[in-house]
Structure 1
């Protein structure tokens, strides 16, 4: 019987089940749609090809995570660090639920450029979230043009630093073998805490604490 409603979530679900069962992409869009009794036009309404669909997965998880935390009670009153921790814990909980799929998409070869491209589709979403936290310095009307350029450069640097932190956390989670990925939770808490301490110019104690944690992880491996 033909599916009565074909949504983006339905296509993502069907595709994820296919690749996890077969460990490869479908032969083409026609066979994928025919096997699942949906029309090609319904597939193309959301995606031009399988590569675009795969690149959309992590962005979809991020959007769902941001939606979940924004609906939390008192979220708007939370400070920036609390919001960031809430996002990280929620996002990686989403990834853990779908870990087999995420490993298929990006975990088989972390140095493969095609796999890394799948991460860049969510960069814009992530940096918009960082901007919403107001970590960056606001531009003042009284600033001259050179000062304004310096502040924009600094703010962009903060966004890039947190993007790098996000990718580092993702790599840590992929390689985490601890029970219930509890070491990823520890890494998130320590590294986010350290990053905010750095911006408050109180880095040493937290930086040493994070360094000890990472040193022990490397030594144990």
Structure 2
């Protein structure tokens, strides 16, 4: 008589650990008090936790990094993505990233409003900041390759930092957005990205310098 084959046991992974942590925070509305208690409650070993993260703070940063990695994975599934312009790639990134955030909105809102000190809540975004700046540098580098005039080329450092500031602005808007299906956030994403790229694409450096000189003269008069 044939015996029924038992399903293979699912291997423990970083994604499973992240899921356990997010569920804990949502159910208890606070971070676990210790790795020992967290592991015991979730029937895992402390070693399984430390195989992936050295602390809960590291795990919290890892969750945002995972949001980024999942976003990149989803984008690159599209065969059309590589043919997109830098503007289209940044738009696609924001739309995809905030779709993932929306799917995890309860956790994100809880952790971003956990501490009265708003800047302390942003510490969990440190790794994400590195990820977004690297992504943005790649976009502006790609854009610069298509510009023959050296003076029209933009600084990768300035653009990457501007993209991070832009992301924080959109994140704050999304947190406060009460529109249906967060349609207002979609509009903000489109307008902010188009504004930045219109400036970079159509504003030669000499025009910026001329504007700066004009404003300086006006201030002095």
Higher-Rg member (1/2): 2
Q: For the aligned residues, what is the CA RMSD?
A: 2.3
1:107–1:174 contact (8 Å) kept in structure 2: no
2:137–2:159 contact (8 Å) kept in structure 1: no
Match of 1:208 in 2: none
Runs of 4 or more above 3 Å deviation: 107-111, 135-138
Question: Which structure 1 residue ranges, 5 or more long, are not aligned?
Answer: 203-221
Question: How far is 1:79 from its partner?
Answer: 0.8
Rounded to whole Å, the distance in 1 between the matches of 2:201 and 2:173 is 26
1:59–1:125 contact (8 Å) kept in structure 2: yes
Question: How far is 1:90 from its partner?
Answer: 0.3
1:55–1:118 contact (8 Å) kept in structure 2: yes
Q: How many residue pairs were aligned?
A: 190
> Do the aligned partners of residues 136 and 163 (structure 1) sit closer, same or farther apart at CA in structure 2, a change above 3 Å counting?
farther
User: Over residues 89-136 of structure 1, what are the superposed CA-to-partner deviations in whole Å (9 max), with x where a residue is unaligned?
Assistant: 000000000000111111345743321111121111111111222356
TM-score normalised by L of structure 1:
0.79
> Greater shift after overlay, 102-111 or 123-132?
102-111
TM-score normalised by L of structure 2:
0.79
Match of 1:160 in 2: 161
Q: Say if 2:119 is the partner of 1:113.
A: yes
Question: Which structure 2 residue ranges, 5 or more long, are not aligned?
Answer: 1-8, 204-221
> Greater shift after overlay, 176-185 or 114-123?
114-123
1:9-158 equivalent positions in 2, closer than 5 A: 9-109=15-115, 111-133=117-139, 134=141, 137=144, 154-158=155-159
Rounded to whole Å, the distance in 1 between the matches of 2:116 and 2:33 is 24
1:81–1:196 contact (8 Å) kept in structure 2: yes
Match of 1:172 in 2: 173
